[in-house]
Structure 1
Amino acid sequence: MTKPLSDDALAQLFTEAHTHTTWLDKAIPDTLIKQLYELTKLGPTSANCCPARFVFVSSEEGKAKLKPCLSSGNVGQTMSAPCTVIVAYDAEFYEELPTLFPYADAKSWFTSSPEAAYETAMRNSSLQGGYLMYAARALGLDTGAMSGFNPELLNETFFADTTWRVNFLVNIGYGDGEKVHKRLPRLSFEKACYVM
Structure 2
Amino acid sequence: MTALHPDVRPTDALALDASAQDLLFREARTANAFTADPVTDEQLQAIYDLVRFGPTAMNSQPMRLVAVRTPQARERLLRHMSEGNRPKTATAPLTLIVAADTGFHEHLPTVFPHAAGARDAMEANPGRAAMARFNTALQLGYLIVGIRAAGLAAGPMTGFDAEGVRAEFLEGTGHEPVAVVNVGRPGPDAWFPRNPRLDFDQVVTEV
| CA deviation map 1:20-65 (0-9, x unaligned) | 1011111111111111111121111111111100111111121011
Residue 193 (structure 1) shift: 2.1
In structure 2, the residue corresponding to 1:162 is in which secondary structure? coil
Q: Give the one of 145, 158, 162 matched to 1:134.
A: 145
Name the structure 2 match of 1:98: 109
- Which ranges in structure 2 are unaligned for 5 or more consecutive residues? 1-13
TM-score if structure 1 supplies the norm length?
0.94
1:7-26 counterparts in 2 under 5 A? 7-26=18-37
Q: What SS does structure 2 have at the residue aligned with 1:133? A: helix
- What percent of counterpart residues are identical? 34
Q: Is the 8 A contact 2:82 2:160 kept in 1?
A: yes
* Structure 1 alignment gaps of length 5 or more: none
User: 1:45-124 to 2 correspondence within 5 Å?
Assistant: 45-104=56-115, 105-115=117-127, 117-124=128-135
Distance 1:8 1:185 in 2: 21
Instruction: Give the drift of 1:179.
Output: 3.6
Alpha-carbon distance in structure 2 between the residues aligned to 1:122 and 1:179:
29
1:149 aligns with 2:143: no
Letter of the 1:95 counterpart = E
Q: Is the 8 A contact 2:23 2:148 kept in 1?
A: yes
Name the amino acid aligned to 1:7: A
Over the aligned positions, Cα root-mean-square deviation in angstroms equals 1.3
Q: TM-score, normalised by structure 2?
A: 0.89
Aligned mates of 1:149, 1:85 — CA distance in 2: 13
Kept in 1: contact 2:33–2:189 (CA 8 A): no
The DSSP-based 3-state class of the residue aligned with 2:15 is coil
1:42 — aligned with what?
A: 53
